[in-house]
Amino acid sequence: MYNDRDEDNKSNLSEWKPKTNIGKMVKSGEITAIEQIFAYGKPVKEVEIVDSLLPQLEDKVIEIASVQRMTKNNRKQKYRATVILGDRNGHIGIGVGKDVEAKPAIQTGIRNAKQHIVSVALGCGSWECDCGTRHSLPLVTRSKCGSAEIILKPAPRGVGVAASATVRTVLELAGVKDMWTFARGRTRDRYNMALATFNALKSLGELKNAQAIKETQAQQ
């Protein structure tokens, strides 16, 4: 975890001057939850919005890779940092940052992840469990990134997250406590596996009945 993030957030929020309408509404207190922004269908363009509405976010760097590109002069080398953000309560984001040094790449990755925060529809979708709590997912979902494919199946309480280290990190930071997973393809590619898992969680929020699922879970 990047240790200096909390101090940086406090100083940034005190000096923050919003440039977007959404930022001004958050600063004035008109918007108090990030779900309100998702309902508007507006993108999050200022990272201070996320810092203000989701102060409990945790970040974890899952990969720092060396990448190269060829120019007319010579070969340029940079570091690519893949960062996962989550509050373990239904919010998750993934970001990528590149720089000639590792630390600035991580900082860029954190900012990029904040701009890609999504809400995850947690629930209890296993036929073996009818507790009605938000410990898993309400539906089976799958996604693919590159040659890596992931299938997420709701599990009953007590199973835990049966997944590889990369997939487990994404699910646990999203707030998933019990899950069966099945992966195929180039599963050792951490970047593709993390992005495939993120897209699978994100797809639940894009369902037409996603709001009905959330309301049903909230009433239980």
> For 189-198, how does the pLDDT look when each residue is reduced to its tens digit (9 = 90+)?
899 999 999 9
133 in a domain, yes or no? no
pLDDT of residue 211: 47
Judgement on whether residues 36 and 106 belong to the same structural domain of the protein: yes
pLDDT of residue 114: 92
CATH of the domain at 206: 3.30.230.10
131 in a domain, yes or no? no
pLDDT of residue 40: 81
Judgement on whether residues 31 and 115 belong to the same structural domain of the protein: yes
Question: What pLDDT, in 10s, does the model give residues 35-47?
Answer: 888 888 888 888 9
132 in a domain, yes or no? no
Residues of the chain under the 70 pLDDT cut: 1-12, 207-220
Judgement on whether residues 114 and 159 belong to the same structural domain of the protein: no
pLDDT of residue 6: 53
- On whether the CB atoms of residues 57 and 91 are closer than 8 A, the answer is yes
Q: In the beta sheet, which residues pair with residue 136?
A: 123
134 in a domain, yes or no? no
Judgement on whether residues 149 and 75 belong to the same structural domain of the protein: no
Written as one string, the DSSP assignment of 59-99 is EEEEEEEEEEEE-SSSEEEEEEEEEEEE-SSSEEEEEEEEE
Judgement on whether residues 55 and 9 belong to the same structural domain of the protein: yes
128 in a domain, yes or no? no
| Host domain of residue 58 | 5-119
CATH of the domain at 46: 3.30.160.20
For the chain, how many residues are written? 220
136 in a domain, yes or no? no
130 in a domain, yes or no? no
Domain count, the chain: 2
pTM of the model: 0.84
Mean pLDDT of the residues in the chain = 85
Tokens 């269908």 locate to 41
Judgement on whether residues 106 and 148 belong to the same structural domain of the protein: no
Positive or negative torsion for Cα 40, 43, 47, 51: positive
165 in a domain, yes or no? yes
